[in-house]
Amino acid sequence: MGVISGLIDRVKEKESNVKNEVLSGLTVALALVPEAVAFSLIAGVSPLIGLYSAFFIGIITALLGGRPGMISGATGAIAVVVVSLVATHGVEYLFAAVVVMGLIQILVGVLKLGKFIRMVPHSVMFGFVNGLAIVIFMAQLTHFKNTSVNGAESWLTGVPMVVMVGFVILTMAIIYLLPKITKAIPAPLTAILVVSAIIIAFGIETKTVGDIASIKGGLPKFHLPKVPLSFETLKIVFPYSLIMAMVGLIESLLTLTVIDEMTETRGRGNKESVAQGLANLVCGFFSGMGGCAMIGQSIINVSSGARKKLSTIVAPVTLLMFILFGSSLIERVPMAALVGVMFMVSVGTFEWASLKMFRNMPLSDVIVMLTVALVTVFFHNLAVAVFIGIIISALVFAWQHATNIHARPSIDKDGNKVYEVDGPLFFASVSAFNDRFDVKNDPEIVIIDFMKSRVLDHSAIEALNKLTEKYASDGKKVLLRHLSSDSRELLDNASAIIEVNYLEDPKYKVASNKLA
């Protein structure tokens, strides 16, 4: 598939071991803190809500999920969906919406609908990862700004900007160069530790995690959402829950596909869907804001050497330890180090090879890729972006096949006219199909051979009905032969006017749910 192909060789070189798993998990935990806090602020809730969400979603999907090495937690994709719900109805309705979101995702997994992620075209995947890479990059720019008391933002200037940019560049340089020297310790973690040590040792003033919000807190407590148990409440939360569930599953299953390619293994989409649902269900009962898989953190984890579930368990557990015991230390970590890590994630996530493929790709694929990327960047709605990409791809596919149907005429030994149809007969190809027949000049018996074709929908049935009626009005008879069993089933309602030959029907196989 080619997604994140530049990282695959590096990933192959890393052997999974306990040291890599633990260090990778620690690196991810450090990077989770500012993101969880930032997503909480976007949603309009307390930072601890985002941190607790990251813990519950992370630990449950780590234990029960279908993709070892994939990190889940509170995400911006979910945060932007719930902003209006929190503003309009309050945080308790958010908790209720997260519970319903979890139930929807469990249902999707139980019904084995996760397999449909395989229907996402490569051009949509390219647009998805490229759009997310840009979103990850742009999300870091806020750390180069000051926020006044009244909420107005302005860019850093002078020495603060120079310090911020300088240490971001140093972080990125360490991450890029260290693997060329040694792979004994994950480069992102080394970069965070080195930059933090320099800034703390020399007392350099710059933004830290503590400047965003305090992360100190206690153990999360069970909490039933304080909302009326009524149909009115469901009417309020269900639209948000449905969007959150779809956004969460799409991002999770696409991230799963990316990690599959990086590790050259296969995750289990339906199992992951159930795990995501259970995680969000529990999260809603512990005052959480919901979440899903995180492509940036997952790439950090895998590229740092993680392959098993241990790293994905270490990350949320370490995050909880930060909240309970290590908040004073974590709050001193400079944002420059974490921004540098995320910038490198953005660079690694972007599919640079897709830019070189513009000249060789069909124009329709280029349009799909750009559309998905732009919708992702400007609207931050991954579900809408992916759906738009799939719809455009489906329309292009239908148009191409609409013009790819042929009916080759011949005369058999009995003097009957035989039309050998080649290509699918469905709503888009009906017009081209009708143009292939010469009703006035054909003999009394016309045979339409579907050995290389299939009747796919009601439009195709209607086209055959009308064609039969045209021949009948001229005193001629139409026979259909070599129809597949599913095509015959569709034509049962037309049996009164169509005589069908069922001999030598082709057999078809369908995809199995096995391993899905």
* Separation between Cα atoms, residue 24 and residue 408, nearest integer Å: 62
* Alpha carbon separation from 410 to 147, 421, 444, 505 (Å, rounded): 78, 11, 14, 20
pLDDT tier, 495 (very low <50, low <70, confident <90, very high otherwise)? low
Q: What pLDDT is attached to residue 514? A: 52
User: Which residue is associated with the tokens 């050497």?
Assistant: 305
pLDDT of residue 290: 92
Q: How confident is the model at residue 152 (pLDDT cuts 50, 70, 90)?
A: confident
- Which residue has better confidence, 451 or 42? 451
Distance CA 304, CA 14 (A): 8
Q: What is the pLDDT of residues 201-231, one digit of tens each?
A: 999 999 998 887 788 888 889 999 999 999 9
For 289, the token pair is: 């804001």
pLDDT confidence band for 101 (50 / 70 / 90)? very high
Beta bridge partners of 499: 479
Tell me which of 273 and 135 has the higher pLDDT: 273
For the stretch 335-375, pLDDT in tens is 999 888 888 878 877 888 888 877 788 888 889 999 989 98
Q: pLDDT digits over 155-197, tens only?
A: 999 999 999 999 999 999 999 999 888 877 778 888 989 999 9
- Dump pLDDT digits (tens) for 251-264: 898 889 888 888 88
Given a cut of 70, is residue 118 above it in pLDDT?
no
- 218 — alpha (psi -120 to 50), left (phi > 0) or beta? beta
- Confidence class for position 513, pLDDT limits 50, 70, 90: low
Evaluate whether 238 touches 275 at the Cβ level (below 8 Å).
Answer: no
**pLDDT, averaged across the chain:** 84
Q: Which amino acid is at 383?
A: A
Of the candidates 115, 42, 120, the one whose C-alpha atom is nearest the C-alpha of residue 390 is 120
What are 299-326's pLDDT values in tens digits? 888 888 888 889 999 999 999 999 898 8
Whether the per-residue pLDDT at 4 is higher than 50: the answer is no
Segment 467-480, tens digit of pLDDT: 888 888 988 888 88
pLDDT at position 226 is 93
Instruction: Specify burial of residue 64 (Cβ count, 10 A radius: 0-12, 13-18, 19+).
Output: middle
Model pLDDT, residue 228: 93
Structure tokens at 181: 């020297």
Predicted confidence (pLDDT) at residue 403 exceeds the cutoff of 80: no
* Nearest-angstrom CA–CA distance, 254 and 75: 15
Percent of the chain whose predicted confidence (pLDDT) is above 70: 91
Q: Which of 490, 482, 444 is CA-nearest to residue 464?
A: 490
The least confident of 32-36, 44-48, 379-383, 436-440 is 379-383
DSSP string, 225-248: --S--SHHHHHHHHHHHHHHHHHH
Q: Provide the percentage of residues in the chain whose pLDDT is more than 90.
A: 30
Q: What is the DSSP string of 379-408?
A: H--HHHHHHHHHHHHHHHHHHHHHT--EEE
Average pLDDT over residues 8-26: 69
Q: How many CB atoms lie within 10 A of CB 363?
A: 9
8 A C-beta contact, residue 73 and residue 57: yes
**pLDDT tens, 405-460?**
888 999 988 889 999 999 888 888 888 898 889 999 999 999 999 888 888 888 88
* 57-81 per-position pLDDT tens digit: 999 999 999 899 899 998 877 887 8
Question: What is the CA 214 to chain-centroid distance, rounded?
Answer: 31
pLDDT at 292: 93
What DSSP assignment string belongs to 190-208?
A: HHHHHHHHHHHHTT----B
HSE, side-chain direction, 13 A CA sphere, residue 363: 1
> Is the distance from CB of 223 to CB of 287 less than 8 angstroms?
yes
Angstrom distance (rounded) from CA 372 to CA 38:
24
Binned at pLDDT 50, 70 and 90, residue 500 comes out as: low
- What does the alpha-carbon distance between residue 22 and residue 306 come to, in Å, rounded to a whole number? 8
pLDDT of residue 509 exceeding 60: no
Residue 141 has pLDDT above 80, yes or no: yes
Beta-carbon count within 10 A of 385 CB: 26
Give the whole-angstrom CA distance, residue 34 versus residue 45.
Answer: 14
